[in-house]
């Protein structure tokens, strides 16, 4: 069990480090923050570059923490947030299977993170060395919930940013009126007020 957890942490964490550095630096065939940002913009995650840096940083840092077995629930929450966001914005509409662009890979990673946090990082870990290991179903569920909350926050910030970029809607008065009609309505109101003033005098 000790060896299997270490190998799982190293594999899963290492893959996340790779994905993160693809986004941050363009390593391992990645597109860096600019190219990744353009892709994220197309999925509705705006501004794209900022989201690329945030997701890349979460993957690289969370992956490193997972490999070290340090702050394992925090690592799980950061990585789960990225996976849930990817499912919501990119993969869900494409179905399950990764061969068709679906969320198969993301779901497996979420399950692996849940299992690692539930079981704990194991004896060969910084958490165990420092006596700060946190594990169990409650911690695993908490990190997943925190990841979901983080994903929801990212989506909400992206929505607000998109709303700010859109020009305000033009409201006509009266409804559906053209500009000449609006001007005529204003003139009519002015004339009416003038007539009432004259009558009052």
pLDDT digits (tens, 9 = 90+) for 107-153: 999 999 999 999 999 999 999 999 999 999 999 999 999 999 999 99
| DSSP output for the chain | -HHHHHHHHHHHHHHHHHHHHHHHH-GGG--HHHHHHHHHHHTT-SSHHHHHHHHHHHHHHHHHHHHHT-SHHHHHHHHHHHHHHHIIIIIGGG-S-GGGT-SHHHHHHHHHHHHHHHH-S-SSSHHHHHT----SHHHHHHHHHHHHHHHHHHHHHHHHHHHHHSPPPP--SSTT--HHHHHHHHHHHHHHHHHHHHHH-
pTM over 0.85: no
User: For residue range 149-176, what is the model confidence (pLDDT) as tens digits?
Assistant: 999 999 999 999 988 876 545 434 344 4
Q: Please determine, for residue 200, whether its predicted confidence score (pLDDT) is greater than 60.
A: no
Q: What is the predicted pLDDT for the residue at 166?
A: 64
Q: Kindly indicate the confidence band of residue 178, based on its pLDDT and cuts at 50, 70 and 90.
A: very low
Q: Please determine, for residue 187, whether its predicted confidence score (pLDDT) is greater than 70.
A: no
User: For residue range 21-49, what is the model confidence (pLDDT) as tens digits?
Assistant: 999 999 999 999 999 999 999 999 999 99
Q: Please determine, for residue 186, whether its predicted confidence score (pLDDT) is greater than 60.
A: no
Q: Please determine, for residue 182, whether its predicted confidence score (pLDDT) is greater than 60.
A: no
Q: Kindly indicate the confidence band of residue 85, based on its pLDDT and cuts at 50, 70 and 90.
A: very high
Q: What is the predicted pLDDT for the residue at 171?
A: 37
Domain ranges of the chain: 2-165, 171-201
């Amino acid at each position: 069990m000790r060896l299997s957890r270490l190998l799982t942490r190293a594999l899963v964490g290492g893959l996340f480090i790779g994905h993160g550095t693809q986004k941050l630096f363009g390593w391992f065939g990645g597109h860096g923050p600019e190219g990744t940002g353009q892709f994220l913009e197309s999925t509705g995650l705006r501004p794209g570059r900022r989201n690329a840096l945030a997701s890349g940083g979460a993957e690289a840092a969370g992956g490193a923490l997972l490999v070290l077995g340090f702050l394992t629930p925090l690592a799980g929450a950061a990585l789960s947030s990225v996976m849930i966001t990817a499912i919501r914005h990119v993969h869900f509409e494409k179905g399950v299977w990764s061969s068709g662009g679906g969320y198969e890979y993301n779901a497996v990673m979420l399950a692996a993170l849940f299992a690692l946090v539930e079981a704990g990082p194991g004896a060969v870990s910084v958490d165990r060395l420092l006596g700060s290991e946190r594990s169990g179903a409650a911690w695993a569920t908490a990190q997943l919930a925190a990841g979901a909350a983080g994903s929801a926050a990212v989506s909400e910030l992206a929505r607000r940013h998109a709303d700010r970029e859109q020009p305000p809607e033009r409201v006509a008065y009266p409804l559906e009126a053209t500009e000449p009609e609006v001007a005529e309505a204003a003139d009519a109101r002015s004339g009416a007020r003038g007539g009432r003033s004259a009558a009052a005098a």
